[in-house]
Structure formats: structure tokens, C-alpha cells
Chain A
Amino acid sequence: MIQKALGFGFLFVIVPLCIGLLWNDSWKEEKNAVARIYLSGFLTQFAVFQLIAVPVMILLPRGMNDLVLLVSAVLILLSAAGIAVYFWRNKKRKALQSALREGILKIRKQLDGMSWGMRLYWLIAFAMIGFQMYMSYDRAMFDGDDSYYVVQSVLADQTGVLNRIRPYTGLSTALDVRHAFASLPLWEAYVARMTGIHAAIVAHTLLPLVLIPLTYLCYYLIGEKLFGQEHTGKLPFFMILVGVLQIWGNTSIYTNATFFLMRTRQGKSVMANLVLLALLWLLWEIMERYDQRKYGLFCLLVMTNIAAAMMTSMGAFLAAMFTGIAGFIAALRLKCPSLLVQLCVCCIPNVIYLGLLVVMG
């Protein structure tokens, strides 16, 4: 139980919040900086894992132990760096403790300023998210692909072998580059190792409880961009509509909503929902401040692109395509061609990844 709590706290609380502090300079003037810090820390965690997992799986077929050690060491280092950078940047302003106190005061102030109608809207929105989390825990969502992806996690966790065993049978096999380079199943095995929870429980029960609220956090941040933070009821109504579109979005097996709630644990789902939403929000942030030279945001875009490659072999292509299209339109509309160049530079990891797939696949 202690290992579960410590592992969970480390991976899902401490690491995202501390690593996210590396990007804090980009949102220090924003009201909900903690949400942004957490999301950016989580995306960076994904990217770091992908950057380590791919070479380790190529070089060390039985390298799960090495992968766990390396990833943990790098995450600890980056977390420490995040804290150090935060204090270094804020030495003349405020310490972390006072920032947190200020954040709590802000939330209390916002709550005090809300009308009862608006509180009701928020309550409904939160109830809908809670309902989806409860159902992901209480209901088993069968999907045939789990016998590939979840088994890859179980194999890495139980045998220590990285993608060299056929999930369906147990026979040995060569590295299937197309599937293996999308390393989310290995990350799930890493979560299993760190928490001491069976990889199947991690995939089916634990991750939806993390990924569903995290995806709604993206929707919240996008909603905030659309409606601001005034107490008009627009933002909570937006969140209610988003919830409805997810819960009633199972109109075919292909929709984002179907993947979101029925295949939450799979890379395709994380790509179609969390990563693409994060990309949308991040591009928005970049375009809003394109004249302010916020290089941290571009670094975070690189991290998000690497995280996209971690989810599915198509992820790198889809992320680059979306970035390219939005960047091209922004360059025209904002009359800023250099923005397109900067965004294209952020897609270099995607090109490298796709090149690796072609060469090694």
C-alpha cells in the first residue's frame, strides 16, 4: 500500500508539478498557472519517457530494469531542476509556499464571487466528469486491441523483456518497430513497476482515473481561452456540453469520444484526445503571444510532439500535420511568416521519428 501511494504520488503529483515548473515562466502572469504547470509537466514526462524508451528498447532487449532506473533518475533530476529554476526565477518575487497560498486565496475568492446558478453549472460539470471516472472504474470496456497493448505492458513488467515477445502467444519475436516505437505500453509497465500494481490494473482501472480528468483539464484551459474567467456561466456550460458530447459520443467505433471513454488506456485514445487537445491549447498560447518570444512554449510544443509519437505510429504525423496547418494559417492571418518557421522547427522530432520508422520498420 505504501509503495502504491508513493509511486502514485511520485508519478502523478510530484513529477508533473515539479517538471512543469520548468515552463512556469510562460504562464506566471496567468490566473490558473497550476493547471498549466501540471499539464505541461505531464506532457514533458511522456516526452522524456519516449526519448529514453526508444534507444533502450533497441539496445537492451531485456532492459526493463535499466529503463525503470534511467527514467526515474531523469525524472528526479528534471523535478529538482524545475524546483531550482522556479526559486531562481522567483527569488525576488515570491516563494513557492506563498504562491500556493495565493493560489488558494484566489480560488476562494472566485468561489465567493460565484452566483448560485453558476455554482450549480459547475457542480453538474464536475458530476459528469466524476461519473465518467466512476464508470471507467466500475465497468469493463472490452477491446480486442488490449490483447496486444495491455499484454505488452504485462510482459515488460513481468518478464523485463521489451517488445521481443509475441503478445498473443508468448513466442519470441523480432522488434516490431511500427508498434514498439509508440512506447505508451512500456510507460504503463513503468507505472506498474513504480506503484507495484499489476499492469492490467494500471491500464484498465488506474489510468482512466488520471487521463479522464487530465483531458478535461485541457478542455477547461481551451474553454478559458474562449470565454475568459468571468463569472458568466459560459465556461461551466461549455464543460457540460463537452461532457455530453463525450458521454453520448459513441455513434461509431471511430469517434474521439468512443476512444476516450472505451479505450482510455490505449495510445490511440490518448493521442485522439489528450495530446491533440493539448496541442490545440498550446498553439493557441503560442499564437496569442507570438510577438513576445516565449521560447518555453516552443520547447513545450517539441515535448508535445514527442509525446504524440509515444502514443501511436501515426501520432507524429498527425501532430505535425495539425501544427503545420495551424501554423500556415497563423502565418498568413497574423502576417508573421517567422511563426510558421518556428512551428516547423518544433516538428523536427516528428520528422526524425517518422524517418526512424521508415528506416527501421
Chain B
Amino acid sequence: MAQIVSVFRQYCGSGFYPLIFIAALIWLLVTEKRKIVRIVLVDASLVILILFFLPPFKALMDVLDEGTYYRILWLLPMTVVIAYAGVRIFEKNRAAGCVVLLVLILSGDYVYDNINVTKAQNRYHIPNAVIAICNEIMPAEDEERVWAVFPEELIYYVRQYSSEIQMPYGREMLEPQWVWNWDTHPIYKVMREDTIDLDALAPLLNEYYCHYLILNRGIPVKGDFEENHLTLLTQIEAYDVYRNESVEIFKKAE
């Protein structure tokens, strides 16, 4: 039961909408007279809510898909029920309706203030730097796809732009909750250090046939680029793009 309450709390987060929904539901349970409204909005919501808080139901859902129990709450028409109750209040007293509106705004969280929302730099909604780097290292039409190692902040975006650029590891290295593969790739183990050791990295780049290395200029590097056959191709925003001369770019078979 504690787990279920925890899932519910996590769903509520910093807001009160689910609690406002429950209050609206109870009110509609008492006052709503129309049969279909009761069936679709009130009774169905009540049954889903009761099911959600039943531990055997949680156990069953975990068998089907563990870690997604919160999605049962998606079945509750929270928005419709709260808005409907709000209109019913508005209908009786317009000032009270406006208070409801204000309460909803103040008890909620403005979505566009979220840390993950930024001004789009282009229509791809991918950082310009990623697009410029990808264009720089993109194989020619008669060349095979290339492999490149990127700093972790760019990993999410690279292959959203082009399938021609491949990476020895991707997002699976960056998610600590994915314990089965997080932090397991040898190149990532070198790349995530505070100082990147080129002497350790270069042999791995060769072993994994990586043609390019992209480094964030803000992260210190130990070792000599030339000795490790890494040639600076270009600098794009905060990033240096290196060509690993030890790995050949192959032409496509005729």
C-alpha cells in the first residue's frame, strides 16, 4: 500500500490537481443527476480510483509492465471532471467560478517554466551545434556511415538529425536507473571523467572504429592529440571536432 501511495504522491508532484479532482468527484457523486454523466465521469472514475489503490491490482499490473503503474491514473478524466465541476460552480456564481480559475492557476505548475523547455534554435528542435557538427562529419554519398564519439550533452540529439552518424554508445549510458547497461562502455568511462585522458581514449577509438571525436572545450584534456593521430577539423560553438586518422572511412561497395 505504501508503494501505491508513493506512486500517487509522485503523480501529484508539486500540485493539488488530483486532490481537487477527488473533491470534485465526491461533489459530483452527491449532486450529479444525469445518468450518462454519472456513468462515464463519476462512477467509472470512482471504480478506477478504487482499483488503483488495491494492492492486488498493483501486483497484477507489475506483472504486465513494471514501473508504469502511474499510467492507470491517466484513465481518470481529471481535466474533464475538474473543469465540469468548475463550470457548475461558475453557473451558480460567476465570482466563485473565477476564484476556481485562480485556485487552479495558483495550485498548478506552469509547464513552460520547466527546466527542459528552451527557446527552439531551429525547426528540428535540436541544438544548432549538433546540426553543424553532423553536417561537418557527414559521410559523402559514396562513403559508408561514420562512427563518432560525442560529449554526453549532445548524445540525445545526434541520431535524431541523421542516421548516417553512428555512435559506439548512446542514451543507455546516461540513465543511472537503467542499471543493466549504465556506465558500462569503456569509451564512456573515459569520456565521463573530469579530465579526459587521450592516451587511454585513442586506443579505444581505434578498437571501436570511431572516425571522429567531438570534445567540449570546457572539459580539460590530458595527452597529445598529434601523437594519438587526432587532427582538429573545426571548432563549432563550444566544441572541437577531431578526425581520428587511424580509422579509414570506407567507400560503399559498388
Residue pair A250, B109 in contact (C-beta under 8 Å): yes
Within the complex, the shortest CB–CB distance from A194 to chain B, in Å, comes to: 18
Residue pair B39, A262 in contact (C-beta under 8 Å): no
Residue pair A314, B68 in contact (C-beta under 8 Å): yes
Q: From A142, A280, A314, give the contact of B71 (CB < 8 A).
A: A314
- Complex interface: chain B residues within 8 A of A227 (CB): 87
- Complex interface: chain A residues within 8 A of B107 (CB): 248
Residue pair B117, A140 in contact (C-beta under 8 Å): yes
Within the complex, the shortest CB–CB distance from B162 to chain A, in Å, comes to: 7
Within the complex, the shortest CB–CB distance from A241 to chain B, in Å, comes to: 4
B115 and chain A: residue at smallest CB distance: A142
Question: At the interface, yes or no: B110 with Cβ under 8 Å from chain A?
Answer: yes
Residue pair B117, A141 in contact (C-beta under 8 Å): yes
Chain B interface (Cβ < 8 Å from any Cβ of A): 10-17, 35-40, 43-44, 47-48, 51, 64-65, 68, 70-75, 77-80, 82-84, 86-87, 90-91, 97, 100-101, 104-105, 107-114, 116-121, 123-126, 145, 147, 155-157, 159-172, 174-175
- Complex interface: chain A residues within 8 A of B163 (CB): 151, 154-155, 158-159, 165, 170
Chain A interface (Cβ < 8 Å from any Cβ of B): 135, 137-144, 146-148, 150-151, 154-155, 158-159, 165-171, 198, 200-201, 204-205, 219, 222-223, 225-227, 232, 234, 237-238, 240-242, 244-258, 261-262, 268, 271-272, 276-277, 280, 283-284, 287-288, 313-314, 317-318, 321-322, 325-326, 329-330, 333-334
Residue pair A142, B156 in contact (C-beta under 8 Å): yes
Q: From A154, A249, A280, A325, give the contact of B17 (CB < 8 A).
A: A249
- Complex interface: chain A residues within 8 A of B14 (CB): 251-252
Residue pair B109, A249 in contact (C-beta under 8 Å): yes
**Known contacts A154-B163, A284-B36: A245-B110 contact under CB 8 Å:** no
Residue pair B36, A288 in contact (C-beta under 8 Å): yes
Q: From A232, A242, A287, give the contact of B36 (CB < 8 A).
A: A287
Within the complex, the shortest CB–CB distance from B92 to chain A, in Å, comes to: 11
- Complex interface: chain B residues within 8 A of A201 (CB): 123-124
Q: From B11, B74, B84, B108, give the contact of A248 (CB < 8 A).
A: B108
Sample of 9 more A-B contacts, CB < 8 Å, known A140-B120, A147-B155, A238-B83: A154-B163, A165-B163, A169-B166, A201-B123, A234-B90, A255-B17, A261-B111, A262-B117, A268-B71
Residue pair A255, B117 in contact (C-beta under 8 Å): no
B118 and chain A: residue at smallest CB distance: A140
Within the complex, the shortest CB–CB distance from B225 to chain A, in Å, comes to: 25
- Complex interface: chain A residues within 8 A of B84 (CB): 226, 238
Q: Which 5 A-B pairs have the closest CB atoms?
A: A252-B13, A168-B170, A251-B15, A248-B108, A170-B166
Residue pair B160, A154 in contact (C-beta under 8 Å): yes
Q: From B10, B40, B90, B104, give the contact of A284 (CB < 8 A).
A: B40
Residue pair A244, B101 in contact (C-beta under 8 Å): yes
Contact sample, A vs B, 6 pairs, CB 8 Å cutoff: A141-B125, A168-B169, A245-B104, A248-B105, A261-B111, A280-B80
In the bound complex, what is the Cα–Cα distance between A176 and B175 (angstroms)?
Answer: 20
Most buried by A among B77, B107, B163, B167: B163
